[in-house]
A = this chain, B = another copy of it.
Amino acid sequence: MVKKTKKPIYPFEDWTIRETEFSIETNYRNETIFAQANGYMGMRGNFEEGYSGPDGTSLKGTYINGFYEIHDIIYPEGGYGFAKTGQTMLNVADSKIIELYVGEEKFDLLKGKIHFYERVLDMKKGCVERKIKWESPSGKIVNVKIKRIVSLQRQHLAVISFSVEPINFTGNIKFVSAIDGDVRNITESEDVRVGSNLKGRVLETVERGANDFEGWISQKTQKSNLSYTCAMKNELIGTEKYEVLNNVKEDRVEVAVAFKAEKNRVYILNKFISYYTSKDCDKSETMKLALEEVRRAQEDGFCKIEKEQEEFLQSFWEDADVVIEGDKALQQGIRFNMFHLLQSVGRDGKTNIAAKGLTGEGYEGHYFWDSDIYILPFFLYTKPEIAKALIMYRYNLLDAARNRAKELGHKGALYPWRTIDGPECSAYFPAGTAQYHINADIVYALKRYVEATNDLDFLYDYGCEIVFETARFWEDLGAYIPLKGNKFCINTVTGPDEYTALVDNNAYTNYMAKMNLEYAYDIANKMKKEVPEKYQKVASKLNLKDEEIASWKRAADNMYLPYSEELDIIPQDDSFLYKERITVDEIPEDQFPLLLHWHYLNIYRYQICKQPDVLLLMFLQREKFTIEQLKKNFDYYEPITTHDSSLSPAIFSILANEIGYTDKAYKYFMMTARMDLDDYNDNVKDGIHAAAMAGSWSAVVNGFGGMRVYTDELHFTPRLPEGWKMLSFNVKYKGRKINVKLTHEESVFTLLEGEPIEIFYFDRRVLIKSGENILKGYEEK
């Protein structure tokens, strides 16, 4: 049930997000919207010149993906095996600072008078530009233009170009460009999803310095044994008469550049910023590398970096762009989402994509199953090399997952529900460790990756270990239960829907575990036959015996798959249908999200869902269910789903589409496509919802585009909304790149790369040949 709609905040523009007015009320939120990142580091849209608004209207934030502090997790009433150590992505030194002094007056949007204000995120250029015409309290007018780029090409680099033009005076101007190391994370919040358990300031400055136009700060964490350097190099353009003054304080390094500015002339301070951490190189090297980076960048010049950025994005959009003709709001929303996904994703195999990207501190910068189930498909079918990096990240976590399984008395590996680099960081196990399905989610992502890329080397060299160790875990976790006809049951788990916890035989978990076990069995046999040496190597490493592999098959074959005869639906778990059913309609609006207003005991007591669970399963394993089954389950679960999770609406949109609930499909898509742009949940200030953004791509491609991937082939059953004129997107699959262009008249599949390939179009097998393949509309069905 679609509860909410929101008024759009920004004007509908194809490639840009435009803020036309500055306001304290929306500043915090817009810091997220205009946040920039490159997968390695992220900067919130804080003003370079500073912000003097009241507390709670801004969060100065700069983040490095996977750079964290640890802290003890203290439970008032703990238990064996509870997660002991938390990890929190750190807010690192703020290098965005460029203060501007007009005479003695400091440029500040909250003082003086704003004659013109505009901030534009250009998603083709990968640049945020602010243009302001500002009058100082004493009446001096300046035009200010600030461009910021966080380089997608050079992941350690960000650049700011700050220009000022005196309009009605000639006089002294001063820039103060700084790195400020006196930073800390949010530590207190009413909302359990926000705020960390770090106490006070964490980062200690161990080196700082400045030299002419350069400055640097090195800091280290207290407990996680990590360190980093932030360096800057500044250049002044517009005059050669200036004075440079360096000011080095305990935690702050400033380069001040003062000069006399003439009326109607433009002066620019370019600032090149770099971060290197001890995860990138030896501890002792971070300063050297960061300084080299900014010097190289300055030599190359701002323009080159600007151009690189545009080129990078051109290539990205060539692969990834989704064109919607006929709905400007959605066109803008979907691009915004894809842009932020690119900004957020770690591409180095050592980092992943945090729940809030690199735009805020919600969920402490942790990685969840969101990456594997919701986000990975977007990259897999547009930028498969990024998908590979995400899975490689999971491979690199395998030892930690083995340790966790062992700690809990299990065989194999158990991935953490939430983590940065390995240990379980979830401090509420019923909605954390109990979500064992994470194991199968990762395998599902891997399986999809291998199917879509035929990257068997990756599977045999790395992936198979994940699959075997997780299969091993499932076989150990479950049990053959006599009163269930000796079926293989997996008890005491929490499924994706966190509004029901600690249940037996969660359908999602059991189906996914079955897939995991079967895949392990199949791969083992395939490897034995096709790459016996590699198989021997991994089998010996994991001490894998044939009997164990057979036991996986046995567990899979006997997996208990819940089904309710009375209702002819799949029950979410053994107990779900025996709870009191309450529909979302019956709950007052002010009670949402329920987790902030109801005790878990009451939430768990009802048939009420935070997000799809059975329905997500049906989407992921679509080939296992008939459309009638899909409809029945949708009709059952939809009225009791609150969508209190941002992951929810996309799946509902996709399935509604397939069932033929076109209105609902569209409404749910609206919710997800513009969830952050329109701030549906009033919490985008805490960061974007990366998984929901990726969900919106799925809602387009899998929903309106009707794409499904199963038994190793692409299927398309497009359903273009009435109001849309055209929908176009690309899909990379098995070395091909196909453009799909849908109108109400026809569907055009253009093979842009690779050999001809057979696909299914409305259940009809079609060979997609080189060039355009025009398939007539739905009547062909």
CA distance A76 to B73 in the complex (A): 6
Chain B min CB distance to A497 (Å): 15
Chain B min CB distance to A501 (Å): 7
Interface residue from B77, B429, B432 paired with A426 (Cβ < 8 Å): B77
CA distance A76 to B409 in the complex (A): 24
Q: For residue A479, which residues in chain B have a CB less than 8 angstroms away from its CB?
A: 579-580
Select from chain B the residue with minimum beta-carbon distance to A407. B599
Select from chain B the residue with minimum beta-carbon distance to A410. B602
Q: For residue A81, which residues in chain B have a CB less than 8 angstroms away from its CB?
A: 598-601
Interface assignment of A7: CB less than 8 Å from any CB of chain B: no
Q: For residue A660, which residues in chain B have a CB less than 8 angstroms away from its CB?
A: none
Interface contact A192-B433, CB-CB below 8 Å: no
CA distance A655 to B36 in the complex (A): 70
Q: For residue A429, which residues in chain B have a CB less than 8 angstroms away from its CB?
A: 599-601
Interface centre among A77, A409, A502, A604 (most CB of B within 10 A): A77
Chain B min CB distance to A221 (Å): 19
Interface assignment of A504: CB less than 8 Å from any CB of chain B: yes
Chain B min CB distance to A404 (Å): 10
Q: For residue A601, which residues in chain B have a CB less than 8 angstroms away from its CB?
A: 81, 408, 429, 433-434, 492, 502
Interface assignment of A489: CB less than 8 Å from any CB of chain B: yes
Q: For residue A574, which residues in chain B have a CB less than 8 angstroms away from its CB?
A: 574-575, 578
Q: For residue A600, which residues in chain B have a CB less than 8 angstroms away from its CB?
A: 79-81, 429
State whether A502 and B504 are in contact (beta carbons under 8 Å apart), knowing that A74-B76, A79-B428 are contacts in the complex: no
Interface assignment of A529: CB less than 8 Å from any CB of chain B: no
State whether A492 and B605 are in contact (beta carbons under 8 Å apart), knowing that A76-B197, A428-B79, A501-B502 are contacts in the complex: yes
Interface contact B578-A491, CB-CB below 8 Å: yes
Interface contact B598-A80, CB-CB below 8 Å: yes
Interface residue from B77, B566, B577 paired with A427 (Cβ < 8 Å): B77
CA distance A579 to B427 in the complex (A): 25
* Overall SS of chain A's interface: loop
Within 8 A of B (CB), among A472-501: 479, 481, 483-484, 489, 491-492, 501
Interface contact A578-B79, CB-CB below 8 Å: no
Interface contact A602-B79, CB-CB below 8 Å: no
Interface assignment of A78: CB less than 8 Å from any CB of chain B: yes
Please encode chain A, from 53 to 80, with 1 for each CB lying within 8 Å of some chain B CB and 0 for all others.
Answer: 0000000000000000000011111111
Q: For residue A599, which residues in chain B have a CB less than 8 angstroms away from its CB?
A: 79-82, 408-409, 429, 433
Chain B min CB distance to A684 (Å): 22
Interface assignment of A597: CB less than 8 Å from any CB of chain B: yes
Select from chain B the residue with minimum beta-carbon distance to A408. B599
State whether A504 and B579 are in contact (beta carbons under 8 Å apart), knowing that A599-B408, A605-B492 are contacts in the complex: yes
State whether A483 and B578 are in contact (beta carbons under 8 Å apart), knowing that A80-B595, A595-B80 are contacts in the complex: yes
Select from chain B the residue with minimum beta-carbon distance to A577. B483
Select from chain B the residue with minimum beta-carbon distance to A479. B580
CA distance A597 to B426 in the complex (A): 19
Interface assignment of A430: CB less than 8 Å from any CB of chain B: yes
Q: For residue A74, which residues in chain B have a CB less than 8 angstroms away from its CB?
A: 74, 76
Select from chain B the residue with minimum beta-carbon distance to A490. B605
CA distance A598 to B82 in the complex (A): 10
Interface assignment of A206: CB less than 8 Å from any CB of chain B: no
Q: For residue A531, which residues in chain B have a CB less than 8 angstroms away from its CB?
A: none
Interface residue from B432, B483, B602 paired with A409 (Cβ < 8 Å): B602
Interface contact B78-A192, CB-CB below 8 Å: yes
Select from chain B the residue with minimum beta-carbon distance to A594. B80
CA distance A433 to B605 in the complex (A): 14
Within 8 A of B (CB), among A538-597: 566-567, 574-575, 577-580, 595-597
CA distance A686 to B660 in the complex (A): 66
CA distance A408 to B597 in the complex (A): 9
Interface assignment of A86: CB less than 8 Å from any CB of chain B: yes
Select from chain B the residue with minimum beta-carbon distance to A478. B580
Interface contact B78-A491, CB-CB below 8 Å: no
Within 8 A of B (CB), among A441-486: 479, 481, 483-484
Interface residue from B75, B80, B489, B577 paired with A75 (Cβ < 8 Å): B75
Residue pairs across A and B with Cβ atoms less than 8 A apart, 30 shown, are A73-B76, A74-B74, A74-B76, A75-B75, A75-B427, A75-B428, A77-B432, A79-B428, A79-B595, A80-B598, A80-B600, A81-B600, A409-B598, A409-B602, A429-B599, A429-B600, A429-B601, A479-B579, A481-B578, A483-B566, A483-B567, A483-B577, A483-B578, A492-B579, A492-B602, A501-B502, A502-B604, A504-B579, A574-B574, A575-B575
Known pairs A75-B75, A483-B566; list 5 more (Cβ under 8 Å). Answer: A74-B74, A76-B86, A80-B597, A481-B579, A492-B601
